[in-house]
Every structure is written in C-alpha cells, then in structure tokens.
Amino acid sequence: MAFVEDFTPIPLEDTNLFKPIRVGDCMLRNRIVMPPLTRMRAHYPGNIPNRFWARKYYDQRSKSPGTMIITEGAFISPQAGGYDNAPGVWSSEQMTEWKSIFKKVHENGSYIWPQLWALGRAAYPEVLKRDGLRFDSASDGIYMDTEMESKAKNCKNLQHGLTKVEIKQYIKDYIHAAKNCMSSGADGIELHAANGYLINQFIDPISNKRKDEYGGSIENRARFILEIVDDLVQEVGSEHVGIRFSPYGTFGTMSGGENPTIMAQYCYIIGKLEERAQKGKRLAYIHLVEPRVTNPFLTEGQGAYSEGSNDFIYSIWKGNIIRAGNFALHPEIVEELVKDERTLIAYGRYFISNPDLVTRVAKGLPLNRYERDKFYVMSEEGYTDYPTYTEALSLGWSNA
C-alpha cells in the first residue's frame, strides 16, 4: 500500500462540501457520501453480512460525525440474488448483523442507508438454479453477453422475462426489504436502478423488449420503477427513499449515451419523480453515476463518455442530487459542482482505501492507493487494514 502519486490534493474544507445539508431526516455535517461498494465478503449460505469484519469496515468509514454512508448492494430476496457472497436484507439473521452495523455508524454520529438490489440477468444462472430459483430479467433470452447465455443454457436455467404476477412479487419484496431496514434502524434506503441490474433492465430498451404495459415505450419502461417508488413511499415515507441511476452506463450491456433516446428515458422518469415531489412526495435524493464512469470495472479515465453530462437533471429535479464517479482525483471539479445548495459528492473507490477520507478531502491530504485485486475477495486484507493518514505516516509512508 502507498499514497497515490501524480495527484495534487486541494483542501475543500472551506467549500460548500463541508456545509451542513439535510437529507431526509439526516442533518449531514458534510456533503461527502460513501456510495454503495460491493465487497463480496458476506457469508454463504445465508447472504449474511460478514460477522467478523463488516461492522469494523463501516465503523472506520463513519468516524467523521455527520457523514452519509450508503451500504453495499443488499439483495431484497433470494430470487433477487445470485451472488453467494453479497449480503441480503430479507432475513432475520441478516438483519441481526445489519442492526449492529447501523448501531455502530450511529454511535459515530453518522447515517446509513442500505442499497436495495435485484440482479436480474446480471446474476449467475447456475447459482440460482442450485437454489431452485429463476434467472430473471425484463425479457426472455436477451442475455447480457454470450458467456451468460452459455452458462444459462448449460445449467438449463434460461433467462426468463418476468410475468406481471412476478413483477408484483418483486415490488412486495422491495417493500419487505425496506421495512426490514427501517425497523432495524436504517436512516433510509436507496433503490438501485443503475449499473445494468434488474430495474435498469426494465428502463433500457436494449434489454426490455416487452409488448405489455411494462415495455415498448418510454412511459411503459418507466412503469416498474415508478410502481416500486410509489409503494416504497407509501410504506416508509418519501424522505426515507433515495434512488440511483447510471444514465450513461454501459456496464451489464446497457445502452449508454450512444442510444439517442436514452436521455429522453431518464428525463421522463426524473420528471415523473419531480411531479410526485411537487405533490408532497419528494424523495430524499437522486443519485447519479457520472458519464466519466461508464463501467465501474474500468480504471479512472477508461471508458469515459465525453458527449454527455448529468447537468440535465438540475432543470428537472429540484431536490438533493448525489453525484458519483471518479471525483477523488478531481477536487477542482468538486469545488465547482458543490457551489449550489443541493449537490453532494460520492467518493467510491477511494473510500475503500481511505477510511478517513472525509478528513483527507477537507485538509487536502494525500490519498492511499486502492488495491483492485482485493475489492471482491473473502479477506480482511484490503477491507479493514487500510491506514488512516496518521497511521500511514507512522508506518513511514512518504508524501514524496
């Protein structure tokens, strides 16, 4: 481990990034957000948050009071899953571990919002088959890629376009998951509608070829997400619901900005959310992945989509906006973006490697490099062993 080289930090403590902001019921003391970061350290069987390391990981990253943390994606049900080492929020065993994590974050004076996740066609079909579960998406047989298609065919779990009854069941599962989170002490929930997962598969015409009221037009492709939002708002209150989109994302074989109609699709959805907001049901925030990150597996600068921007959202949505995507190495961009009263900045990969990221961004301190090969492995290494800045200096790390 070492500090990032060829990077000149800028202290941001005198910018709006460190002005308080209300998100739902939370009075944040800074506008830095830890976004959902899958780490694949949950226990199998049971998709249970890691009993030995997870609490310490979230504790380390919530030490700066008044910080907002969005958890790693958590499956709403077994059918929504398909990765053995990602956590869920459907069972009492899972919630026991989450309760201890939520409690620790609250003891630090910070806030925590679980991300509700359903994989759809991004799941491993053989894992679902083993557990007697379907391989779901918006449509039959439109596979993410040829590898997934052959996996599905080899294990005889072909990709299945959800029936309307199954769509309604997913909505019930989102509600069940949200109730579990709120009754376990979460400050709100984030609905995962980004990065090529199930909801994104309904939004995007590349994966949604349905002929019923859930496909075939901009309005129809928005129906699933808006039905989920309406039921979540009914159940837990709009101030406890956030939502994440990746309008330019291509991860999971989504259209990205090359599809000339994709922005119209997101403008429509966000417009319908703003209509609801103006009738008294404003969500706590909308969270957007920046076009500079079209595929989170790529390293900084790779795969950036330079023909578009998320600035469109400001003319439609009048609530809080969280923006994520390679900001840690661009403090000068952050300084500009936070000049308004409603923009928050999510720092993903560098929150993995800098438990004290909030302090480092405030003071303009060097950043620990992250180790990508330890992002998704069952080890405490690369999870809870990154040093704070003070610890790094005492380990002899040099600023040079």
Ligand X SMILES: C=C(C)c1ccc(C)c(O)c1
197 catalytic residue (yes or no): yes
Nearer to ligand X, 66 or 120 (CB): 120
Span of 24-32, 130-138, 190-198, 337-345 interacting with ligand X by CB under 6 A: 190-198
Backbone angles phi, psi at 159, to 5 degrees: -65, 135
- Tokens for 378? 């069952």
Shortest Å distance, C-beta 152 to ligand X: 20
How many angstroms separate the CA atoms of 205 and 216, rounded? 8
Query: Which amino acid belongs to residue 309?
Result: S
How many angstroms separate the CA atoms of 256 and 4, rounded? 30
Q: In the range 130-189, which residues lie near ligand X by CB under 6 A?
A: none
Shortest Å distance, C-beta 140 to ligand X: 24
Query: Which amino acid belongs to residue 323?
Result: R
Nearer to ligand X, 296 or 366 (CB): 296
How many angstroms separate the CA atoms of 266 and 284, rounded? 18
**Quick count: other Cβ atoms within 10 Å of Cβ 146?**
8
Nearer to ligand X, 7 or 297 (CB): 297
Nearer to ligand X, 228 or 338 (CB): 228
Q: 227 by DSSP, 3-state: which?
A: helix
Q: Is 195 in the site for ligand X (CB under 6 A)?
A: yes
Instruction: Give the number of residues in contact with ligand X, rule: CB under 6 A.
Output: 10
Q: In the range 222-251, which residues lie near ligand X by CB under 6 A?
A: 251
Binding mask 280-319 for ligand X (x = CB under 6 A): ----------------xx----------------------
Q: In the range 30-59, which residues lie near ligand X by CB under 6 A?
A: 36, 38
Question: What is the 3-state secondary structure of 294-346?
Answer: CCCCCCCCCCCCCCCCHHHHHHCCCCCEEEECCCCCCHHHHHHHCCCCCEEEE
Residue with tokens 């003071």: 363
Distance of CA 146 to the CA centre of its chain: 26
Binding mask 104-133 for ligand X (x = CB under 6 A): -------------x----------------
Nearer to ligand X, 66 or 348 (CB): 348
Nearer to ligand X, 192 or 272 (CB): 192
Catalytic residue among 111, 197, 347, 370: 197
Q: Is 81 in the site for ligand X (CB under 6 A)?
A: no
Query: Residues near 182 by Cβ (< 8 Å), separated by ≥ 6?
Result: 188, 189, 236, 240
DSSP bridge pairs for 112: 69
How many angstroms separate the CA atoms of 348 and 296, rounded? 10
For ligand X, the binding residue among 24, 66, 73, 257 (CB under 6 A) is 73
Residues catalogued as catalytic: 197
Interface contacts to ligand X, rule CB under 6 A: 36, 38, 73, 117, 192, 194-195, 251, 296-297
